[in-house]
């Protein structure tokens, strides 16, 4: 089994940066890891994904150029560096493990989420 625990969320101002971390227990180095987010009243949406070896990365258009996903397999941790944050980035951010995909249905394991709030 794989367990995921996110951290690093918080309240920031527009233009600030945050780095989210997702610590995994279990063998995740073969799994792709993804970040999703869910704002109040909206569906959970894809943010970014990274392949098992960290070579392939894919981003949602809304975060491309501002967010960077990375992973350290030695530490069983995946990161999401978020720069130039906007109020519309406000959401609960979830880490997930599964297939290299932008579809939430392709991920088998999920964390509990961490809140990111960006004030204008």
pLDDT tens for each residue of 59-115: 999 999 999 999 999 999 999 999 999 999 999 999 999 999 999 999 999 999 999
What are the distances in angstroms from CA 41 to CA 37, 38, 91? Answer: 12, 8, 10
Question: Which SS3 state, helix, strand or coil, does residue 14 take?
Answer: coil
Q: What is the largest CA-CA distance in the chain?
A: 40
How many CB atoms sit inside 10 A of residue 24's CB? 23
Q: What is the average pLDDT across 29-53?
A: 95
How many CB atoms sit inside 10 A of residue 90's CB? 18
- Confidence class for position 1, pLDDT limits 50, 70, 90: confident
Q: Please, what is the average pLDDT of the chain?
A: 96
- Confidence class for position 23, pLDDT limits 50, 70, 90: very high
């Amino acid at each position: 089994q794989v367990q995921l625990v996110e951290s690093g969320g918080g309240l920031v101002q527009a233009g600030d940066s945050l780095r989210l971390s997702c610590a995994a227990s279990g063998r995740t180095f073969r799994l792709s890891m993804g970040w999703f987010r869910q704002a109040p009243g909206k569906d959970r949406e894809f943010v970014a994904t990274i392949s098992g070896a960290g070579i392939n990365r894919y981003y949602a258009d809304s975060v491309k150029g501002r967010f960077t996903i990375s992973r350290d397999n030695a530490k069983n941790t995946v990161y999401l560096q978020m720069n130039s944050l906007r109020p519309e980035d406000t959401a609960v951010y979830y880490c997930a493990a599964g297939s290299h995909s932008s579809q939430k249905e392709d991920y088998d394991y999920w964390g509990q989420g961490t809140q990111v709030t960006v004030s204008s």
